[in-house]
Amino acid sequence: MPIPEQRPFSPPPGSGSTRRPPPISLGDLSLVRALGEGGLGAVALTQLHRECSHPLELRAPLFATKYVRKKETKETEWDDDAKERAALARLPWNPYVGSLVSVHEDDVNRYLHLELLPCGSLHQLVRTVGPLSTSAARFYFANIVCALDHIHRSGYVHRDVKPDNILMGRDGYLCMIDFSFTKKEEEDDAKDWVGIGTPVYKPPEVVREDLDGEFGRGIDWWAAGCVLYEMLTAWHVYVGCDDDRVHARILKGKFKYPKGVEVDPDARDLISRLLDQTPANRLGRNGTEEVMRHPFLSGIDWCKMKRRQYAAPFVPRDLDPVNMHHHAAMPKQEAVPGLHIERPPLHRRFEDIAEDDETDPRVRKKRRLAR
């Protein structure tokens, strides 16, 4: 059944408001907690504080702000955030993809303000409660299929599908993030396709660095197969003590299931079809429908899944991202000059005391004792 188009928002008659609230300015945002570290920057929770009476404006909305140091992108010539920004700006909105809300820059950083997905990553979920049940893994895998369907239909390949880049929203559904390696599928300059990605999730054609290889959406389906294996076993498909060992095992192509872990036969079949060494034979290569029709997913009503009408296996409750205990140190003000840092109260601070934070009484006490 086709999904009906959503009606665009129209302002109440006579309200005089425009279709959207006014754009966000960097000075209206406060940085309230650190969320994650990245290669060239970090991700932080930010909150908008401004007086705005637009009917669509939420009260003090939260964002995940990814900031990347401009100096380092220049030095390393890795302009990942510019690529991510370009891909996110061109991808049509979809609930399975963490969207870009706004962008800013100051003298030090470029900032991407993203939709906040506050309930942790699939990686954390698998590490804390994995292996997942067959039905939970089926639901989460179906979320990944919806995300890839949208990305591929829009002409892109994500190229870094892995549990750290799949986050949970408040409704318990998963969303794909981190579009720094995303690429248009039609751009077929082979040298841009090889070597990219995270070692344990790379398919053989990328590991082999064979410039005559067939590159494209098969890269994402291979990684999706690795993620399904990981959800059902809490192990990686191909492991090794270093990247070379992992790459050698990927090229050999043999994998086993850990002893004592029961894996559904249909799930095993799907994993082996997604982990096909030949990209042209890999399931999903000719369209997402191939994957959707697989017996492991045959009970899913895809129209219902795309509308998010299934009950998620786990729905986080009473989550208050601002007032939780901090699990990482806040950045220093000079690292994010454009944002106002709102320091948390002492009892919620990350234990690792910033040695030069004069406002922290623990630091002052430590210094007094050292004298």
Annotated catalytic sites, by residue?
160
**Residue 36 in the binding site for ligand ADP (CB under 6 A):** yes
State in angstroms the smallest separation of the CB of 178 from Mg ion. Answer: 4
State in angstroms the smallest separation of the CB of 54 from ligand ADP. Answer: 23
Give the residue with the Cβ less far from ligand ADP, 19 or 327.
327
Q: For residue 231, give both structure tokens.
A: 């959800």
- For residues 168 to 187, the per-residue mask of contacts with ligand ADP, x marking binding by CB under 6 A and - elsewhere, is ---------xx-x-------
State in angstroms the smallest separation of the CB of 76 from ligand ADP. Answer: 13
- CA–CA dist 34, 43 (Å, integer): 6
Q: Are 165 and 171 in contact (CB under 8 A)?
A: no
Please spell the DSSP secondary structure of 327-364, one letter per residue: SSPPPPGGGSTTSEE-PPPGGGS-SS--TT-TT-HHHH
Picked from ligand ADP, Mg ion, none, the partner binding residue 64 (CB below 5 to 8 A depending on kind) is: ligand ADP
Number of H helices, E strands in the chain: 11, 10
Q: Are 130 and 122 in contact (CB under 8 A)?
A: no
**Residue 109 in the binding site for ligand ADP (CB under 6 A):** no
Bond before 199 cis per omega within 30 degrees: no
* Helix, strand or coil, per DSSP, at residue 262: coil
In the complex, residue closest to ligand ADP by CB: 38
Closest to 94 in 3D by CA, of 301, 300, 308: 308
Please spell the DSSP secondary structure of 82-119, one letter per residue: HHHHHHHHHSPP-TTBPPEEEEEE-SSEEEEEEE---S
Give the residue with the Cβ less far from Mg ion, 80 or 276.
80
**Residue 39 in the binding site for ligand ADP (CB under 6 A):** yes
24, 31, 97, 98: residue in contact with ligand ADP (rule CB under 6 A):
98
**Residue 164 in the binding site for ligand ADP (CB under 6 A):** yes
24, 48, 114, 227: residue in contact with ligand ADP (rule CB under 6 A):
114
**Residue 65 in the binding site for ligand ADP (CB under 6 A):** no
Which residues lie near ligand ADP (CB under 6 A)? 35-36, 38-39, 43, 64, 66, 98, 114-117, 121, 164-165, 167, 177-178, 180
